[in-house]
């Protein structure tokens, strides 16, 4: 007997769905009622939006932005997509959002309850929960306090668990202010502006840690680029109260600009300190050079030759531009090495480039590691594995930069020596002058170089001071926060759609489970998995079975396995004979037991005698239908046919498959008896 691969037929599921349509109707009513109740009594949510333009406030960035207004190519280079993405990550950083939570007072939420309805109270509520900010920053488990104010007193109850069904602490009939001690922390409940002792109100006070509020805020906060070709960033947040949503967005933009401004001032302060230190040394060297020149002129009476020497000097340093570039590189290397040697803790940023120069990737990576370390120091101890790891990475990067930049110093010095050799032509002309004049030339050249370096450092110091005291921010607020007039319907629609899907999925899964659990034979489709769908009939369709038997050629031996144990075999034979099919009933040999009674010689002679009398078919009821597999060799003969009589809705499909195992499918007919 063959077995089909699909054990569960979709038609069976559809049949069960039609039989139990009331289950779908009940689930639909229940879930849609719950969804409608949720939509009616939940706090409405509003979408608040703001737009921030990311600008490059450095002089080079300002010049590039000005040129970009007349050039599409430069406009694309004014602020790269990677730079904007970095600023978006900074806006969404834990430090910026933590500052927003503290500034906007989001650690404590007040909700007024009126039956099933709720109303968010912000920025003020009738009562206030006073908790130190340092406690809120380290709070890991939130506290939910339910306050019932009546008759000038308050009932306080700290709840926990799902939907606050468990009470953690309780105080009844207390006068405010009152210090309420919960298992997590002590909270001082104080009356606030708008407090009415005679009012009967229910206020929920929800106290959460700063990190928990930040994580919840990220779920409702969206930060996206306004357009691929622009540097504008759109911020959007969903909140039950438009005022609070707008406050959050405005605080985010404010704290982002404050963090960016502090970063710029830190870099400027480091550069200013270097310039001041270098200028002090350079002034001393310049004074020494001037003293040498004056002393040389005075000792050798060369005052009248000064103008001629100056002319030869101007010719010797004609390649000043090349020397200036090498000197710039040397200055940058010195500045970085000075900063690194001064600070061994790895907490100071280093310059990434000089004005107009390409940023050094090693310096940028070092500054990124220092920034990560500063972020970790806010929440991790020095012994923390993450802190130790970042310190090791900073130390390795510091060592690499010192080695690389020390080599750069030597290289720049060699380049300066090469530039100096370009003055050999002028020296050749000066060779005809007395040796004293040539020595004066060298002294004048050294003085001129130090003088130009002095002017260059003065310009750098002025630029650093401007950045240090500048209030220009990277983010320009294009649109301050504003909110939609109507509340968002997204969550309500999601609730309705989810309720509709659950009203379909839940009863379907239940029906599938019931089918798998009961798994009984009811109709022909239930026998598809053993290949007997076309060979099965209900008792009221017995005429179809008669037609099937009438189409068979020759004499036929019918073996009837009655699994109903209701003598259905005689009824089937009588129904066949009502249309004169010529079927006779043979009876098992009483001298044998079990199914052996239809294999004896006496039974075979009885069956042959009936056929000789003109019967077209001889039917016999299998004595033990549960052991019908024992007579599989009889049913496999061409002139044999097995009729299995199965009770409707009482026999499992797998049990029937087990009983008919070993039989040929084309030799089996199944009659499903409903009564």
* pLDDT tens track for 422-469: 656 555 555 555 566 677 778 888 888 888 888 888 998 898 888 888
Distance of alpha carbon 164 from alpha carbon 661, whole angstroms: 59
**In order of start, what are the domains of the chain with their CATH numbers?**
94-248 (no CATH), 268-477 (no CATH), 524-673 (3.40.50.300)
pLDDT surpassing 70 at residue 57:
no
Mean pLDDT of all residues belonging to the chain: 81
Q: So what's the pLDDT on residue 67?
A: 46
On the CB side of 111, CA atoms within 13 Å amount to 18
Q: How confident is the model at residue 333 (pLDDT cuts 50, 70, 90)?
A: confident
CB-based burial label for 536 (10 Å; 0-12, 13-18, 19+): buried
Residue 70 DSSP symbol: T
Most confident option among 164-178, 515-529, 547-561: 164-178
Q: So what's the pLDDT on residue 64?
A: 43
Going from the C-alpha of 111 to that of each of 120, 179, 240, 318, 490, the distances in angstroms are 5, 20, 11, 78, 22
* 78 close to 57: Cβ distance less than 8 angstroms: no
* Residue closest to 518 by CA, chosen among 16, 10, 5: 16
Beta strands 221-225 and 232-239: pairing type? antiparallel
* 349 close to 398: Cβ distance less than 8 angstroms: no
Q: In what order do the strands lie in the sheet with 153-160?
A: 117-121, 108-114, 201-207, 143-150, 153-160, 166-174
Cβ neighbours of residue 162 closer than 8 Å, sequence gap 6 or more? none
Q: So what's the pLDDT on residue 364?
A: 80
Q: How confident is the model at residue 72 (pLDDT cuts 50, 70, 90)?
A: very low
Most confident option among 11-20, 276-285, 411-420: 276-285
> H/E element holding 540?
none
Q: So what's the pLDDT on residue 75?
A: 47
Going from the C-alpha of 515 to that of each of 292, 502, 510, 521, 673, the distances in angstroms are 108, 19, 9, 10, 20
* 210 close to 9: Cβ distance less than 8 angstroms: no
Q: Has this prediction a pTM greater than 0.85?
A: no
Distance of alpha carbon 156 from alpha carbon 146, whole angstroms: 6
* Residue closest to 105 by CA, chosen among 127, 121, 123, 92: 123
Q: What is the CA radius of gyration of the chain?
A: 48
Q: Mind listing the pLDDT tens digit for each residue in 562-575?
A: 888 887 777 777 77
Cβ neighbours of residue 641 closer than 8 Å, sequence gap 6 or more? 549, 552, 556, 557, 558, 559, 635, 667, 668, 669
Q: So what's the pLDDT on residue 248?
A: 96
* 1 close to 665: Cβ distance less than 8 angstroms: yes
What is the DSSP code string of 87-108? HHHHHTSHHHHHHHHHHHT-SE
Question: Would the CA dihedral through 99, 101, 103, 104 be positive or negative?
Answer: positive
* The token pair that represents 276 in the structure block: 């001041």
Interval 526-543 mean pLDDT = 75
pLDDT surpassing 90 at residue 147:
yes
Cβ neighbours of residue 264 closer than 8 Å, sequence gap 6 or more? 57, 467, 470
* The token pair that represents 346 in the structure block: 């790895």
Q: So what's the pLDDT on residue 311?
A: 54
* 460 close to 275: Cβ distance less than 8 angstroms: yes
Is 298 or 658 the better-scoring residue by pLDDT? 658
Going from the C-alpha of 615 to that of each of 555, 585, 612, the distances in angstroms are 8, 10, 7
Distance of alpha carbon 474 from alpha carbon 87, whole angstroms: 9
Q: Which of 11-25, 99-113, 252-266, 490-504 has the lowest mean pLDDT?
A: 11-25
* 248 close to 104: Cβ distance less than 8 angstroms: yes
Q: How confident is the model at residue 528 (pLDDT cuts 50, 70, 90)?
A: confident
Q: How confident is the model at residue 370 (pLDDT cuts 50, 70, 90)?
A: confident
Q: Which of 194-198, 333-337, 445-449, 571-575 has the lowest mean pLDDT?
A: 571-575
Q: How confident is the model at residue 377 (pLDDT cuts 50, 70, 90)?
A: confident
Distance of alpha carbon 647 from alpha carbon 522, whole angstroms: 8
Beta strands 186-191 and 127-130: pairing type? antiparallel
Dihedral pair phi/psi, residue 582, rounded to 5°:
75, 50
3-state secondary structure of 342: helix
Cβ neighbours of residue 316 closer than 8 Å, sequence gap 6 or more? 423, 426, 427, 441, 445
């Amino acid at each position: 007997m063959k077995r089909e691969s699909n054990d569960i037929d979709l038609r069976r599921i559809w049949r069960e769905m039609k039989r139990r349509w009331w289950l779908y109707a009940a689930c639909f009513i229940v879930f849609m009622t719950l969804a409608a109740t949720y939509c009616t009594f939940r706090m409405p949510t509003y979408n608040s939006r703001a737009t921030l333009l990311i600008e490059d406030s450095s002089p080079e960035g300002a010049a590039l932005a000005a040129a970009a207004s007349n050039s599409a190519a430069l406009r694309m280079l004014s602020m790269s997509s990677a730079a904007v993405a970095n600023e978006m990550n900074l806006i969404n950083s834990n430090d910026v959002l933590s500052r927003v939570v503290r500034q906007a007072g989001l650690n404590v939420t007040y909700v007024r309850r009126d039956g099933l309805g709720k109303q968010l109270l912000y920025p003020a509520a009738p009562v206030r929960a006073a908790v130190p900010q340092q406690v809120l920053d380290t709070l890991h488990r939130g506290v939910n306090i339910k306050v019932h104010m009546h008759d000038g007193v308050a009932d306080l109850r700290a709840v926990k668990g799902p939907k606050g069904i468990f009470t953690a602490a309780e105080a009844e009939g207390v006068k405010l202010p009152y210090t309420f001690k919960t298992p997590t922390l002590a909270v001082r409940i104080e009356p606030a502006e708008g407090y009415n002792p005679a009012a009967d109100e229910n206020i929920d006070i929800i106290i959460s840690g700063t990190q928990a509020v930040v994580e919840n805020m990220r779920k409702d906060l969206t930060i996206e680029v306004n357009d691929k070709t622009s540097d504008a960033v759109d911020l959007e947040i969903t909140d039950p109260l438009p005022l609070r949503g707008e406050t959050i967005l405005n605080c985010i933009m404010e704290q982002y600009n404050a963090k960016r401004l502090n970063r710029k001032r830190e870099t400027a302060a480091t550069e200013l300190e270097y310039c001041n230190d270098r200028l002090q040394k350079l002034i001393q060297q310049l004074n020494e050079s001037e003293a040498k020149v004056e002393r040389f002129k005075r000792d050798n009476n060369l005052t009248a030759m000064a103008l001629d020497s100056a002319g030869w000097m101007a010719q010797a340093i004609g390649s000043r531009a090349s020397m200036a570039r090498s000197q710039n590189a040397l200055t940058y290397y010195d500045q970085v090495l000075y900063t690194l040697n001064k600070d061994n803790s790895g907490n100071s940023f280093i310059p990434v480039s000089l004005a107009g120069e390409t940023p050094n990737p090693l310096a940028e990576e070092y500054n990124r590691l220092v920034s990560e370390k500063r972020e970790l120091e806010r929440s991790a101890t020095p012994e923390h594995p993450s802190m130790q790891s970042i310190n090791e990475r900073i130390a390795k990067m510091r060592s690499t930069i010192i080695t690389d930049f020390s080599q750069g110093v030597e290289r720049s010095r060699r380049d300066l020596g090469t530039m100096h050799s370009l003055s050999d032509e002028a020296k050749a002309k000066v060779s005809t002058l007395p040796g004293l004049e040539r020595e004066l030339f060298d002294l004048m050249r050294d003085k001129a170089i130090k003088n130009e370096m002095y002017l260059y450092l003065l310009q750098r110091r002025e630029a650093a001071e401007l950045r240090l005291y500048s209030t220009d921010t990277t983010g320009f607020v294009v649109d301050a926060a504003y909110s939609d007039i109507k509340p968002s319907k997204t969550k309500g629609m999601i609730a309705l759609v989810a309720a509709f899907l659950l009203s379909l999925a839940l009863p379907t899964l239940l029906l599938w489970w019931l089918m798998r659990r009961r798994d009984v034979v009811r109709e022909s489709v239930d026998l598809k998995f053993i290949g007997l769908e076309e060979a099965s009939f209900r008792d009221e369709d017995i005429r179809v079975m008669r037609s099937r038997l009438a189409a068979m050629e020759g004499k036929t031996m019918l073996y009837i396995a009655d699994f109903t144990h209701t003598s259905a075999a005689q009824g089937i034979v009588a129904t066949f004979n009502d249309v004169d099919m010529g079927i006779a009933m043979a009876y098992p040999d009483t001298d044998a037991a079990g199914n052996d009674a239809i294999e004896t010689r006496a039974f075979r002679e009885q069956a042959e005698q009936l056929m000789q009398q003109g019967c077209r078919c001889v039917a016999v009821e299998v004595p033990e239908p549960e052991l019908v597999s024992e007579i599989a060799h009889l049913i496999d003969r061409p002139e044999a046919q097995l009729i299995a009589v199965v009770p409707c809705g009482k026999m499992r499909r797998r049990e029937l498959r087990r009983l008919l195992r070993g039989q040929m499918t084309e030799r089996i007919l199944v009659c499903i008896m409903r009564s």
